Amino acid sequence: MTKHPLTVAMITAGVLAAGTAAALGLPNWLNRSETQPQAVSVDSAQGAAAVTVANTSPPPVPVLSVAGQVPDYRAIAKQSGPAVVGVTVSGTRAASAQEQGMEGHPFFRGQPGAQPRGRGGNPSVPMRGQGSGFIVSADGLILTNAHVVQGAEEVTVKLSDRREFVAKVLGSDAITDIAVLRIEASGLPTVRLGDPRQLEVGDPVVAIGAPYGLEQSVTKGIVSAKGRSLPGDSVVPFIQTDAAVNPGNSGGPLFDGSGAVVGINAQIYSQSGGFQGVSFAIPIDVALKVRDQIVATGKASHGRLGVQVQDLNQDLANSFGLKRADGALVAQVMSGSAAAAAGLQPGDVISEVNGEPVVRAGSLSSLIALSSPGAKVKLKVWRDHGWKEIEASLGAADGDRVQAAAADAAPTGSRLGLALRPLSRDEQRESQLDQGLVVEGVSGAAERAGIERGDVLLAINGKPVQSIEQVRGVMSKQPKSVALLVQRDGEKLFVPVTPGG
C-alpha cells in the first residue's frame, strides 16, 4: 500500500552535538537515525540480578485536590527535582560522505580517531548526546530512554548537586524505548512512582528535565489524551500532554499533580524541531515492567500474537453487525503465528484481552506486546454476528517479516462499482495468494471508498472470496454497507463501502 508521509515530523526529545561539548551546538533533530548513535554493546548480564530496587520514595507533596485549584508546583519541583538527572553520552560515529571530503572541517582537526580524506581507513567523528533521567532507587538505579543511550561508548550521569558518575547501561529495550542505568552510589534521592491509570484528560502534569542542556528546567501542562498509538510505536499507549518538552527532555519524568511520576517524556510532534504543544510520555507502569525484566535478566522480551489489525469505523462496524466501532479488526493472520494456531481469522474483531477492553487497534498491540512470550491470553472475539472466546499462547516478538500474503474482468453490479477477475497462476505465485479477485476497474461506491485498480479483493464481510459469483451473491441481498478486505502493495486492509443505488 502506498505510504503517505506525515505532515508533521515525529522526533525524539534528545539533544545531540557532534564533535563539540557545547549542548547548544545541535544538528538536525528530525531524523533519529542521523542524530542518534547507532549501536551499543552492553555487558548487561553481569551484576544485573544483584541490583536491589529499594524504594525510598519521598512522601507525597501536599496538594489541594479541590476542583479548580492547582497543585503546589513549587513543592513538586523542590521535592522531586533532586532525583532528576542529566544523562550525557559520548562516542564516535561514522563520518558522512560530506564530512569525509572536508579536510578543514573542525570535526576532523585534531580529533581522536578522525582520518582526513586520502588516508584510507574508516573515518569517524566524535559525537556527544544529552538527555535526562530520574533515580528510582537510592542505590543508583536510573530510568531514561533507550534512544538517549543508543550507541554510547560512555554514559555520564550528573546529579542536581553537580556530582557526576560514570553509569553502566544494565539494558535497553528499543521496542518500548526504555533503558535502565546503574551508578555506584548510595543514599540517593528518589522519585515517588504513581499510577498512570488514574490520570484523566485535563489533569495537571509537570515535566522536569534538561531541554537544550538547561538542567532542572520545570514546565507544566495538562493531560491532552491517553492511550495514543503513534506511527512506529504501536506498543506504547502514550500519554499526550501540552507540557513543554524539547530536545534534551528525553528520559525525564512526567509528574502528576501530587508529585508522583506517571510517565517518561519521550517524543514530540514538531514541524520545526522544537516544542509545538504536542508531547508524548511513556506510562510509568510500562517502564517498570521493562525495568523489572532488565534488572532480572539484562533484557526485555515481548509477546507476539501474529496479526495485523486496524481500527474500526462505524461503516465497518455496521458491515460486521456491531453496534459500536470498538475493537481491533484483524486484517491479516501471519502463517505459523500464535494467532493462526488459535484459529483467529481475518474479519475477527477482538474486543477484550484477559478481560481488558480493546477500544482501538493500538490497545491490542500494547496488551499483547507487554505480555511475556508463552503467556496464555483469552480473547473475546466477534465473528459471524456472535461472540466467541479464543485462547492463544503468545509467541515471542522476534521481528519476523510479514509475508504478504487470465480471464476477462466481470462487473459485480453498479451498486458496488467493481470489475473483477480471478488471479492468474503467475499472480498467485508472485503474491503468495491461493485465492482472490483482481480489481480491473473501479467506479461509484468502491471508488469513493478508496478501492484502486490493481487491488486484490480477498474477502467480503469477513468471508474469503472464491469467485465473482460469491460477491454478486452478497450484493444481491442489497446490504447497506460491506467490508472489503483488499491487498495492495503487499499490505492488507479492510475498506468499508456503502453501495450506491
Q: If DSSP codes are grouped into helix, strand and coil, which group holds residue 125?
A: strand
Q: Is residue 408 annotated as part of the catalytic site, yes or no?
A: no
As annotated, the residues of the chain forming the CATH 2.30.42.10 domain(s) are 303-396
What's residue 106's pLDDT? 30
Bridge partners for 391 per DSSP: 378
Please answer whether residues 462 and 483 qualify as being in contact, where contact means their C-beta atoms are separated by less than 8 angstroms. yes
Please tell me what DSSP assigns to residue 212.
G
What's residue 61's pLDDT? 53
What's residue 476's pLDDT? 78
What's residue 180's pLDDT? 97
What's residue 147's pLDDT? 92
Q: How far apart are CA 367 and CA 377, in angstroms?
A: 10
As annotated, the residues of the chain forming the CATH 2.40.10.120 domain(s) are 9-44+53-60+68-297
C-alpha cell at 255: 509528574
Q: How far apart are CA 52 and CA 175, in angstroms?
A: 25
Please tell me what DSSP assigns to residue 6.
P
What's residue 468's pLDDT? 82
Please answer whether residues 368 and 401 qualify as being in contact, where contact means their C-beta atoms are separated by less than 8 angstroms. no
**Number of residues assigned to the chain:** 501
Bridge partners for 134 per DSSP: 84, 143
As annotated, the residues of the chain forming the CATH 2.30.42.60 domain(s) are 410-497
What's residue 108's pLDDT? 26
Q: Is residue 4 annotated as part of the catalytic site, yes or no?
A: no
Please tell me what DSSP assigns to residue 403.
P
What's residue 113's pLDDT? 33
Q: 303-396: CATH homologous superfamily?
A: PDZ domain (2.30.42.10)
Among 377, 373, 342, smallest CA distance to 358 is for: 377
By DSSP bridging, strand 260-270 and strand 192-193 are parallel
Please answer whether residues 75 and 98 qualify as being in contact, where contact means their C-beta atoms are separated by less than 8 angstroms. no
What's residue 271's pLDDT? 76
Biggest CA pair distance of the chain: 78
List % helix, strand, coil for the chain (3-state, nearest 5): 15, 35, 45
Q: How far apart are CA 95 and CA 274, in angstroms?
A: 26
What's residue 408's pLDDT? 43
Q: Which of 80, 124, 172, 250 is catalytic?
A: 250
Q: How far apart are CA 319 and CA 23, in angstroms?
A: 55
Q: Which amino acid is at 357?
A: P
What's residue 62's pLDDT? 53
What's residue 466's pLDDT? 80
Q: Is residue 250 annotated as part of the catalytic site, yes or no?
A: yes
Please report, for residues 25, 103, 121, 257, 395, the alpha-carbon distance to residue 125 in angstroms, rounded to integers and kept in the order given: 15, 12, 13, 43, 41
Q: How far apart are CA 384 and CA 386, in angstroms?
A: 6
Ranges of residues in the chain whose predicted pLDDT is under 50: 1-55, 64-66, 97, 99-121, 399-408, 501
Q: Which of 139, 177, 256, 455 is catalytic?
A: 177
Burial class (CB in 10 A: 0-12, 13-18, 19+), 383: middle
How does pLDDT run across 40-77, given as a tens digit for each residue? 333 333 333 344 444 455 555 555 444 556 789 999 99
Q: Which of 137, 147, 172, 371 is catalytic?
A: 147
Residue 80 CA to chain centroid, in angstroms?
28
What's residue 17's pLDDT? 36
Q: If DSSP codes are grouped into helix, strand and coil, which group holds residue 198?
A: helix
What's residue 348's pLDDT? 94
For the chain, the C-alpha Rg in angstroms (whole number) is 26
Query: Please, how many CA atoms are within 13 Å of residue 144, restricted to the half-sphere of its CB?
Result: 37
Quickly list DSSP for 361-403: HHHHHHHHHTSPTT-EEEEEEEETTEEEEEEEE-EE---PPPP
What's residue 30's pLDDT? 32
CA dihedral 190, 242, 205, 364 (to 10 degrees): -80
Quickly list DSSP for 274-342: S--S-EEEEEHHHHHHHHHHHHHHSS---EE--EEEEE--HHHHHHTT-SS--SEEEEEE-TTSHHHHH
Fold observed for domain 9-44+53-60+68-297: Thrombin, subunit H (2.40.10)
What's residue 41's pLDDT? 36
How crowded is residue 62: how many other Cβ atoms within 10 Å of its Cβ? 11
Architecture of domain 410-497: Roll (2.30)
Q: Which amino acid is at 235?
A: V
